[in-house]
Chain A
Amino acid sequence: MSTKTHSSDVERSIVDRIRASPFLTELLSNRIAVAGLSLIIGLFAVAIYARLVYDLDAIIATSFGSNPTEAAPSAQFWFGTDGQARDIFPRVLYGAWYALKFGTATVLASTALGITAGIVAAYYGDLTDNVIMRTMDVLLSFPSLLLALALVTIFPESLGLWRAVAALTLVYTPRFARVVRGAALKVLEDEYIEATRALGATDPRLLIRHVLPNCLAPITVQSTLNYGLAIIDIAALSFLGFGANPGDPSWGMMLANGVEKGLFSGAWWWSFFPGLFLALTVLGFNLLGDGMRDALDPRMRDAVD
């Protein structure tokens, strides 16, 4: 363990550590992870394509008169049309953009909140630690979807899917907080931190420079697994009626409508394609996350759900 105190040396040592980590090399040799990664890259491509090519207003608008209602897949409508006579194909592609946008927001927000809470708890210890971690315990003692279901109602309806993002952020935060706090405690015990502190480094610098890189790996794995979970949970909230605005090309909403109105009366395509894309996306993140767990140092692995 380095005991050098000059700050640029500390920085260098962090970079070295990341580079030297067998994590990435091992990850790329893991077939499952690579399969997941390919699915996710494909998804990003679809999302960006849809975002650039399609006009959101146009694919939300009902199209009675110009398109047939509930038409089966054909050369003209690859994925068929829905009950509002809308072409399902561009909507499903655009759904990838929605899934990534709201999934990313959820994961970033909960990771950031969790890191902050975990580091603050570990660094200040005592009462601060207790207050923060007991709050996390309370949040963790709810089954996650149920807590999200209750939380989502307190945000204004007009926020649409951002309501689900807000609720799920609060639900996922404790998981990150726990991982980060554990890792942070280990780092803080190390001598070199003591030494740095003695030389008058400020709190934020200490926390960010030293603690964060050390728990980067478990956080990344947790984030990846949560990515899939976030996408599936956002869709689940939409399915239960708490989420997307009517007409939005979100997979959860399309799935809910398609199942309720089309699946049993023959219009299987209405829910099938959104469902397929949703499942493939979540599978992508789960494959990658699982591969990452394998690549992870076994000591760290325990820290991840």
Chain B
Amino acid sequence: MVSKRFIAKRLLLLGPVLFGVATVVFAILHLSPGDPAIAIAGERASQEFVEQVRSDLGLTDPLWEQYVRFIRDTATLDFGESYQVRRGTAVGDILADRLPITIELAVLGQIAGLLFGLPLGILSAVKKDTLTDHFSRVGALTGISVPIYWSGPLLILLFAQVLGILPTSGRIGSTYFIDSKTGFILIDTLLAGNLAAFQSAALHLVMPVIVLGVYSMAFISRMMRSSMLEVIRQDYMRTARAKGQGAKTTVMKHGLRNAFIPVITIIGIQFGSMLGGSVLTETVFEINGIGTLLVSAINKSDYPVVQATVLVFAFMYTIVNLLVDITYSVLDPRIDQ
């Protein structure tokens, strides 16, 4: 079992790390040249008006005062109000809207990646150094070598423009207005009992999930393969085979369970690039998740939104890695934490 001390220690470390993240974000924002005041006031504004806005936002206070205020507010989970996205709306509310959208996409992408990546990796390991192996490895590597911002538009060109079987972009057909209960569109449409809307939402998700899935598939199959090979080389596998069990059953019985362990680690690491990938995927397919939120907030110097979004990304990333470590030690008791 995982020791409680291990988990407690990791959770305690989360605080300082997030504090560090908050400090880094604050520093980055105040070093960058964007000007939130003029972004709000607009190009028609007089100099005095811009100054007025700047002081209203507290941006004329000494930097250390702004920093202390920011850390204090963040510690109490008060992320402030957006300068730009519906001005004056609590950033927490905006994130609550946007976060499920990104999570839904990332989770579906991860599932697709596992669904195709695991069998591919196993196949590759079992048929090591055959044509199948080379083919699937090169295929997987090609998957991560083609940038999302190229493969995405190519898919749109093919499925939306040429074949006309999938919608171009967005999350759901324009005429559906579904109440957001969970924020996950597939669930919300089902809760609303609107099957047509569900179908529309599902079709909109096809291309983004393919793009993200291919990306994660490549990593997962690569990890599955090498971990599978490692396991096959182990003594007990040879023993099992020597006992006369068929190669196939051997693989299934002994190999898989042990081979999965490192794959779980890669899923954690993968989740980070998934979040990063979601920025590009959301941009390409025009999905209003926190990825697109972050890009537009950076463009408009919307400090509170950038700060909160990056903190949330870092928090999710850290938590997922913690969960991975815990799962890892549960599955593999040999590891002494």
Contacts and interface: CB of A to CB of B under 8 A. Distances in A.
Contacts of A156: 33
Query: Which secondary structure dominates chain B's binding surface?
Result: helix
Interface in B204-222: 222
A134 B16 contact: yes
Interface string A263-305: 1100010010001001110110011001001100010010001
Interface stretch (B20-28, B61-69, B84-92, B323-331): B20-28
B147 A236 contact: yes
A153 interface: yes
A278 B25 CA distance: 31
B73 to A, nearest CB: 19
Contacts of B149: 235-236, 239, 255-256, 259
A26 B232 CA distance: 20
A263 B314 CA distance: 35
Nearest to B230: A298
Interface stretch (B111-119, B137-145, B173-181, B240-248): B137-145
A154 interface: yes
A90 interface: no
Nearest to A274: B150
Contacts of B298: 149-150, 153
A149 B20 contact: no
A235 B28 contact: no
B157 A138 contact: no
Contacts of A151: 28
Sorting the interface of chain A by its residue count into under 10, 10 to 19, 20 to 34 or 35 or more gives 35 or more
A142 interface: yes
B275 interface: yes
Interface in B169-199: none
A144 B273 CA distance: 7
Contacts of A282: 144-147
Interface string B124-161: 00000000001001100110111101100110110001
Nearest to B271: A143
Given A31-B134, A286-B145, A240 B283 contact: yes
Q: Which of A31, A150, A264 gathers the greatest number of chain B CB atoms within 10 Å? A: A150
B295 A240 contact: yes
Contacts of B269: 305
Nearest to B157: A263
Contacts of A153: 28, 32-34, 298
Q: Which of B157, B276, B313 gathers the greatest number of chain A CB atoms within 10 Å? A: B276
Contacts of B165: none
Given A240-B295, A287-B138, A138 B24 contact: yes
Contacts of B150: 255, 259, 271, 275, 278-279
A146 interface: yes
B2 interface: no
Query: Which secondary structure dominates chain A's binding surface?
Result: helix
Contact of A150 (B28, B146, B154, B277): B28
A135 B24 CA distance: 10
Contact of A279 (B18, B29, B142, B276): B142
A239 B31 CA distance: 23
A109 interface: no
Contacts of B200: none
A146 B25 CA distance: 11
Given A137-B17, A255-B150, A271-B150, A143 B273 contact: yes
B269 to A, nearest CB: 6
A122 interface: no
Contact of A287 (B34, B141, B275): B141
B203 interface: no
Contacts of A66: none
Contact of A235 (B147, B161, B272): B147
A115 interface: no
Given A153-B34, A240-B295, A293-B226, A283 B145 contact: yes
A141 interface: yes
Interface of A: 31-32, 35, 134-135, 137-139, 141-146, 149-151, 153-154, 156-157, 228, 232, 235-236, 239-241, 255-256, 259, 263-264, 268, 271, 275, 278-280, 282-283, 286-287, 290, 293-294, 298, 301, 305
29 contacts: A134-B20, A141-B318, A142-B317, A143-B313, A144-B272, A145-B276, A145-B279, A146-B313, A149-B294, A149-B295, A150-B310, A153-B32, A232-B147, A235-B147, A239-B147, A239-B280, A240-B279, A240-B283, A255-B147, A259-B149, A259-B153, A263-B153, A263-B157, A275-B146, A278-B150, A283-B141, A287-B141, A290-B137, A298-B230
List the 3 closest A-B pairs by CB distance, nearest first. Answer: A138-B20, A145-B276, A283-B145
Given A135-B20, A144-B272, A283-B142, 5 more contacts: A35-B138, A134-B20, A142-B310, A144-B276, A263-B154
